[in-house]
Structure 1
Amino acid sequence: MSAGAGGDAPVLRHVEGGAGFLTLNRPRALNSLNHAMVLAVEESLTAWEEDPAVRTVVLTGSGDRGLCAGGDVRAIFDDVRSAGESAAVGASERFWHDEYRMNGRIARFPKPYVAVMDGLVLGGGVGVSAHGSVRVVTERSQVGMPETTIGFVPDVGGTYLLSRAPGELGTHLALTGAPVGPGDALLCGLADHFVPSSSLPELLTAVATEPAADVVARLAAAPPPARLAQAREWIDRCYAADTVEEILRRLRDAGTADAAAAADTIGSKSPTSLKVTLAALRRARGLPSLDAVLRQEYRVSCAMLAAPDLMEGIRAQLVDKDRDPKWSPATLSEVDTAEVERCFAPRPGRELELPWAVDGAS
């Protein structure tokens, strides 16, 4: 739901009362994030952090389909086709560097950052919203990290969020790539408040003159049930395994239709992505901060560019749309453990730089 005035800019910005409004404005592309949008959001946050007249920042998306359906990965594919692999890798690494820095800045923003997570909120959309301090979902919200579907790995701080979800819920969401509704988004720690979509106009008007916490408290309602709450027993038991192969075995032996369906879904994903994703989640649990996890994710994302599955996944899902990717390697048993480890290796001179970070994580 848009809060901004009309215009062609990919991010609309205006101040009303004490609120600075940011509206992602690529509705035809489901507001997918490109490099210019990332830079515009960070530029606005930098300016508004120092502006005493701006007490609150509010993020919304143009159109009626969602806040943001992710990063513009189609651009990566097009760059490889037109500019060549070397140029595309450089452009992608620069985009991710600035995007992850923006994610970190949102998390440490000192003023209320209200993310209106209405409709689709996927991948990069989670990164631009779920690190905020006031995260609002509606009955239309579908929140998820679908990266394994395109041969990639959850990023934008997603492995930080999912690794800290209750039990093994985050592992379930990461490996299946399945989005969840508002009740489960709240259960998994991806959102804080449920506000009916019919109340969003009032919310967007009131935050200009009232404290964001007061407005949300007044308009919040009881959320729909969290469907995954009833599945915690088999989710926690099955996904606690140390390998993707054992997770799949447990899911198939769990004796429930939902667990079997999860196994089928995971089995369709990139084997390499699945193994790297599980390793990233387990490692993220032991890292001390979002900044440290973002650094890890940057290493992993850049390493995944060198693997064939990302381009193949984008082709199958977003270009040819045949939904029939040919993963390489094609099976979990063929994934080289050394290749998984390579994704986490330091990259001297090419690490994520977070100028505020003080935790010293490698």
Structure 2
Amino acid sequence: MSGRVNGPGPMTDPLRTDSDSVRTAADHPHRAAPFVSRTVFAAAHVVADPFADSTPDGPAAIDWDTTLAFRHHLWSNGLGVAEAMDTAQRGMGLDWASAAELIRRSAAEAAAVGGRIACGVGTDQLGGSSASLADIKAAYEEQLSLVEGAGAQAIVMASRHLAAAATGPESYTDMYGHLLRQAAEPVILHWLGPTFDPALEGYWGSSELDIATDTFLQIIAEQPTKVDGVKVSLLDAGREVQLRRRLPDGVRCYTGDDFHYPELIAGDELGYSDALLGIFDPLASLAADAVRLLDSGDTAAFRKRLDPTVTLSRHLFQTPTRYYKTGVVLLAWLAGHQSHFTMVGGLQSARSLPHLKRAYELVDELDLFPDPELAKSRMRQLESVLGGRGA
């Protein structure tokens, strides 16, 4: 398997030592038993090739072996993989050609081990230019066909192009109604708020969230059997609870709220949220343990296990929230899932050294590093390089 999306042959790292060895797909040939009380996806990051001669606005250079090994890590904990989403830097360094290859490769790996996978469907092949509604529809159709053809479930993502081209709620009802009719299997609809992507302000045809919610629910109500669930990323727990109570029977609410996920997953007397979360990328093992407690009926133990992680998540997702990916990749490096702290598009520079150091401290306080000494050593290396001194 090639280690690069561009360039000749697999990635080689002349500076790698034994302590820098990374896990491979062969280390995770199985998956844990699925959860019974909740459906849970982790939105997974991609691992860059640090030795590729690339630029921030050029094609993504990906270390495929290590990227896919991380998906096996998620499956081995029983989590589903949400692929080619914003955690994978979709629209922030991951171009469509690379995303398409990622979808094909990850779907094949999922099939090999029986892992659950859902993949993002968007319009990013249109680039940064404006587009007509017809062009947007064709772009969505192309990506939907690729995802379903790869054997994965589709997650219909919010489109920056549609946000720019829409003239009102009817633009969304027409577009999504068409896409749902085209889908071979039930899809997940993703409502990504402007906190994560400012270009999505006014999605569903209005900046008034009550009006936007009504349009969103109208789309679902017209074809409920084509909607497996909705992923809600608004960072507003109260609004998510209100929305999930209005969903048709059989349509799941997947929380994408990285500020309030324990309470939303635990639920209340009227229901609960399933999960599709970026924070479950660095928290995979702990999150899996917590959900198994929920499976056993012990909600209090679930909250006791997961609640302490919220401080870390709020730190990683602090404003500007869209740069949370930098902290996620830092933690993957510190935990030993990859041998470097380099990101596609150079996004490792998107957070300050104090921010990164605090992320390390919070994970260390939670005792989540598989090898605390390795994590400490790597954090000292980072401080030395970025700050000109050791810890």
TM-score normalised to structure 1 length: 0.31
TM-score, normalised by the number of residues in structure 2: 0.30
